[in-house]
Homo-oligomer: A and B are copies of this chain.
Amino acid sequence: MQADGIVRLSKIQVNPDYLDEYMKYAVEVGTISLETEPGVLTMYAVADKDNPCNITILETYASQEAYKSHISSDHFQKYKQGTLHMVDSLLLDDVTPINPDNRIINFINPSAASEPSHD
């Protein structure tokens, strides 16, 4: 990560009426971002067990440039515009890792093919 990189906890409250649909968008944008954007270092989304409408995403961007590239990408814009009416609230909580030597590598399991299998 460069000096101007971003580590963020995005906290999203999804309208319960749209939760299933929202999840499809969120899984898709996370997968495409991790697989195609070298500057997207993490995009790890979790839902509260007690309330699955509360989503937290650990997002890490290598630089401001990587972040700008991400938010202007087709896949992010599809997610953003497609889910606007599903999101009750969104909080972008920028954070600092407390130990700079603590490293995370985040990726989509390579055996989970994005394309349909021909086996």
The reply to whether B47 and A98 form a contact with Cβ atoms under 8 Å apart is yes
**Bound-complex Cα distance A58 to B93 (A):** 15
Closest to A112 in B: B101
Chain A residues touching B, majority SS: strand
CB contact between A98 and one of B42, B55, B94, B108 (< 8 Å): that residue: B55
Closest 9 pairs (CB-CB, A-B): A46-B95, A101-B112, A101-B109, A105-B105, A27-B99, A49-B94, A45-B98, A104-B106, A46-B97
Chain A 29-70 per-residue mask, 1 if CB under 8 angstroms from chain B, else 0: 011001000000011111111101001101000000000000
Residues of B within 8 A of A26 (CB): 98
A23 at interface (Cβ–Cβ under 8 A)?
A: yes
What is the minimal beta-carbon distance from A42 to any residue of chain B, in angstroms?
A: 7
